[in-house]
Structure 1
Amino acid sequence: MKKLLVLFLLVISVNCMAQIETGLLIGGGIGNVTNTSLRLSDPGVIQTLEKSGKYSLNYQFNTTLGYRFRLYNPKHKTFFYDLDVLTGIKKIELKTSFSDETNALSEVKSSDWFCPVSLAASVNYRIMKGLYVGVGVAPTCIFASKIAFDIPIVAKVGYDIKNKIGFSLSYQHSLLKAFKTDEYDGGRFSEWNVSVYIPFTLNKLK
């Protein structure tokens, strides 16, 4: 990720008038997991299916904390670029349901926690003063009971208030089946997130 950060800064800084703004990024959101596939070789999954058990998922929440590098040309602010170094947590509840001979339903619930670490890069277009839209990608390493790699695509809309604080709403969808647990062999994250950006510094790139 360090090499990607250096490459991104070098590409953008070819414009001798480029400036870089940095600041804190805080956010959170909701989502779901799509295109799931069970780990059919797992003894526990096999036993559950043999008893006519069913699995279901409940995406509960995610949180995000990170640092943003924003690059732009002060003479041409229509386009600008964000590079976000992010970490956080996701909590997803797994529910296993069983029916006995009397059709009585019993459920077992457990929670899986995920810790994603990502480097998100986006190109943004300012529609009007303060309001902008952007698209990008966010290569991510997800640490959990099973470690996985993902490359979500990201689309966002945001509003900056006099360079003092910014708000954005983003949607991201996994390109890879990075949802992996003891019971699931894959699934794609689909998430809506709200972020608050608090800029700290502004420097000119030579």
Structure 2
Amino acid sequence: MKKFFCLLFLLTSLSAYSQTLKSSGIIVGAGRGVTSYSLPHSVADVPVSIDKANSYFKSKLALELGYRFRLQPTKSRFFYDIDLLAGYNRQEYGANFMLGKNATYAGPSGTIDTFSASVAGAVNYTIVKGLSVGIGVQPTYSFSGAKAFDIPLFATVAYNLKYVELAFSYKQGLLTNYKVNPFENLRLSQWQFSVYVPLFKN
């Protein structure tokens, strides 16, 4: 948790230095995640093997709500976003085991509702008026559900409609510290559609 707040302070300080606040406002995002994972061939101390074909771990819904600060140097095509975000992610999982060639039984299964807090920093470039692309990083701390810390990278394509900005982004998690037995090496990624509504413009 200390690392998270230190990184937040560092990103805010570095971006604010020598930059001009262009706008700030609310950002709302919704999308769906993708979870990659691996499964062991068997469970320790249990004489069964895992039925990988019929086991699953799926991310169903991802939501984000937060506040954005946009900074842009004078007469530059580059601009920078700092987002303070709260997130929600729903995941479903199920593991099945095989006792023999034709005998199977259901193992652990359930739904995980994960709430998180994050700060995202992005570098963006205006291609033509209104259309921009960007890349960034989003350190995220999940404090309920699948508790973990991750540092996803993301890429964004956005179009500014003057009063709102619409964006599509893809986010790829880097760490595999989510733990849900018997799943291993869980890595989260996510695609998302978001709307940025500036409340202040300079």
TM-score above 0.5:
yes
Deviation at 1:141, TM superposition (A): 0.6
Compute the RMSD of aligned alpha carbons: 2.6
Distance in 2 between the 1:146 and 1:68 partners? Answer: 26
Which of 48, 51, 56 lines up with 2:48 in the alignment?
Answer: 51
Distance in 2 between the 1:191 and 1:176 partners? Answer: 14
Query: Aligned residue for 2:194?
Result: 195
Unaligned runs of 5+ in 2: none
Larger CA deviation: 109-118 vs 126-135:
109-118
Deviation digits for residues 72-129 of structure 1 (CA, Å, limit 9, x no counterpart): 13x3241100001111111111112245679366546411121121100000000011
Report the secondary structure of 2:178's partner residue.
Answer: coil
Deviation digits for residues 25-53 of structure 1 (CA, Å, limit 9, x no counterpart): 11111121124456x8xxxx547x63334
User: 1:26–1:197: 8 Å Cα contact kept in structure 2?
Assistant: yes
Percent identical residues: 34
User: 2:115–2:145: 8 Å Cα contact kept in structure 1?
Assistant: no
Query: Aligned residue for 1:80?
Result: 79
Query: Aligned residue for 1:177?
Result: 176
Distance in 1 between the 2:17 and 2:100 partners? Answer: 71
Distance in 2 between the 1:2 and 1:20 partners? Answer: 24
Pairing 1:36-185 to 2, within 5 Å after superposition: 36=38, 46=44, 50-54=47-51, 55-73=55-73, 75-98=74-97, 103=102, 107=106, 109-162=109-162, 164-185=163-184
Deviation at 1:178, TM superposition (A): 3.4
Unaligned runs of 5+ in 1: none
Deviation at 1:67, TM superposition (A): 0.8
User: 2:21–2:69: 8 Å Cα contact kept in structure 1?
Assistant: no
- In 2 relative to 1, CA 98–131 (structure 1 residues): closer, same or farther, beyond 3 Å? same
Which of 6, 24, 27 lines up with 2:26 in the alignment?
Answer: 24
Query: Aligned residue for 1:11?
Result: 14
Distance in 2 between the 1:142 and 1:186 partners? Answer: 17
Distance in 2 between the 1:52 and 1:23 partners? Answer: 52
User: 2:49–2:99: 8 Å Cα contact kept in structure 1?
Assistant: no
Distance in 1 between the 2:15 and 2:144 partners? Answer: 34
Distance in 1 between the 2:144 and 2:18 partners? Answer: 41
Distance in 2 between the 1:102 and 1:34 partners? Answer: 27
User: 1:145–1:181: 8 Å Cα contact kept in structure 2?
Assistant: no
- Equivalent pairs, count: 194
User: 2:95–2:182: 8 Å Cα contact kept in structure 1?
Assistant: no
